[in-house]
């Protein structure tokens, strides 16, 4: 295997390009009841949540890895029994097209690399799971969607909360107008990131609070109202650590307006903890707190009902749902178009923060 010296060096150069486009005859692949997943990028999220979750899934399993850090390979092979033939680096990634063990490529890289590897995976004939946020720009999102459509493969975005049962119930309440129409969504998502030299603090790599955590309250505002926002009415950036957050936002507050007149007041941060979702309806209210942690999602509503459903593992539920959709030939619960809609709003939030003016979302 021709592996670059380190993943850090690879990330700094943002990869070697799309490479040769290998188009296998994916229509001839045998039908499976359990799909093989290759994780692309072996950082924290692959190592701690995803790989262990893949040991609990019923419809998919960990079949391969893609990494630019050679020292990680024996560790992962010993722990998960991954054969040599299912280990790839960023230069020979396109050879994954010839591997029948791998059905799905899960892109778990810095945001700036999402679109490229979604496109390369689709061109290799593999279904694609892509971590949130989907990409840096609307154009990058559209490129990934187009590549998956052209290659007739599925694309799912890793919004695990939309698979979580309490969140699903909140979505149902809004859709069925149990408490009338939503008039105000108040949502916040953030944590204190103590790191001082990480890709999430670099603009070129897609860092910043709005990209990393801001998509949680943004996505919640959209699924709670059941509408697409028409404008960002206000947005502000701030930081308590200007020596670290020199390129991107540490904390962002933003407000959205919806066609019905509903509003959303949202906050996100990499400098402080916040984790609440409160929806006011014409005839009541509902709340989840926490609303986006890895476990323990809970809440209540104005009629006394409780949101306290439990599942063993959110990531396992997400991946099983998406794998089953592929197996059964159904649309994804959270397709690429969902990620695109959020990034369109993210771009408008940054524009509103820059101009200090209302920005309509087109």
% of the chain beyond a pLDDT of 70: 92
What string of H, E and C letters represents the secondary structure of the chain? CCCCCCHHHHHHHCCCCCCCCCCCCHHHCCCCCCEEEEEECCCHHHHHHHHHHCCCCCCEEEEEEECCCCCHHHHHHHHHCCCHHHEECCCCHHHHHHCCCCCEEEECCCHHHHHHHHHHHHHCCCEEEECCCCCCCHHHHHHHHHHHHHCCCCEEECCHHHHCHHHHHHHHHHHCCECECEEEEEEEEEEECCCCCCHHHCHHHCCCHHHHCCHHHHHHHHHHHCCCCCEEEEEEEECCCCCCCCCCCCEEEEEEECCCCCEEEEEEECEEEEEEEEEEECCEEEEECCCCCCCCCCEEECCCCEECCCCCCHHHHHHHHHHHHHHHCCCCCCEHHHHHHHHHHHHHHHHHHHHCCCEECC
Q: Where is pLDDT greater, at 1 or 342?
A: 342
CATH number 3.40.50.720 is the correct assignment for the domain at 7-159 = yes
Return the minimum-mean-pLDDT range out of 4-18, 73-87, 137-151, 164-178: 4-18
The average pLDDT across 185-211 equals 97
Q: Is the pTM of this model over 0.95?
A: no
Tens of pLDDT along 241-298?
Answer: 999 999 999 999 999 999 999 999 999 999 999 999 999 999 999 999 999 999 999 9
Residue 13 pLDDT > 90:
no
What's the whole-number mean pLDDT along residues 225-251?
A: 97
Ranges of CATH 3.40.50.720 domains, the chain = 7-159
Instruction: Provide the β-strand partners of residue 306.
Output: 300
What pLDDT sits at residue 31? 79
Domain over 165-310+336-360 is classified CATH 3.30.360.10: yes
Indicate where the chain has its CATH 3.30.360.10 domain(s): 165-310+336-360
């Amino acid at each position: 295997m021709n592996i670059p010296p380190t993943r850090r060096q690879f990330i700094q150069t943002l990869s070697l390009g799309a490479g040769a486009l290998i188009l296998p005859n994916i229509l001839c692949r045998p039908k499976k009841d359990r799909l093989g997943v290759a994780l692309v990028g072996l950082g924290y999220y692959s190592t701690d949540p995803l790989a262990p979750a893949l040991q609990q899934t019923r419809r998919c399993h960990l079949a391969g890895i893609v990494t630019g850090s050679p020292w990680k390979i024996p560790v992962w092979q010993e722990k998960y029994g991954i054969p040599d033939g299912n280990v790839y680096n960023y230069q020979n990634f396109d050879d994954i097209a010839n591997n029948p063990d791998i059905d799905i490529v899960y892109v778990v890289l810095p945001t700036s690399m999402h679109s490229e590897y979604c496109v390369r995976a689709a061109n290799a004939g593999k279904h694609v799971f892509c971590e949130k946020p989907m990409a840096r720009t609307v154009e990058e999102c559209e490129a990934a969607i187009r590549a998956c459509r052209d290659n007739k493969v599925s694309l799912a975005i890793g919004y695990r909360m939309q698979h979580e049962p309490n969140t699903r119930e909140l979505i149902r309440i809004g859709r069925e107008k149990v408490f009338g129409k939503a008039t105000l969504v108040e949502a916040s998502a953030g944590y204190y990131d103590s790191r001082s030299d990480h890709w999430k603090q670099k603009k070129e790599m897609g860092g910043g609070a709005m990209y990393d955590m801001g998509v949680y309250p943004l996505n919640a505002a959209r699924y709670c109202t059941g509408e697409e926002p028409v404008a960002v009415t206000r947005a502000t950036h701030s930081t308590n650590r200007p020596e670290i957050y020199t390129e991107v936002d540490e904390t962002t507050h933003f407000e959205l307006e919806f066609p019905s007149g509903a509003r959303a007041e949202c906050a996100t941060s990499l400098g402080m903890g916040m984790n609440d979702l409160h929806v006011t309806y014409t005839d009541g209210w509902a709340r989840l707190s926490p609303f986006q942690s890895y476990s323990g999602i809970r809440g209540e509503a104005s009629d006394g009902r409780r949101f306290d459903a439990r599942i063993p593992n959110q990531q396992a539920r997400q991946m099983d749902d998406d794998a089953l959709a592929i197996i059964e030939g159904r649309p994804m619960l959270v397709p690429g178009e969902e990620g695109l809609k959020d990034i369109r709003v993210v771009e408008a939030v940054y524009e509103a923060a820059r101009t200090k003016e209302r920005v309509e979302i087109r």
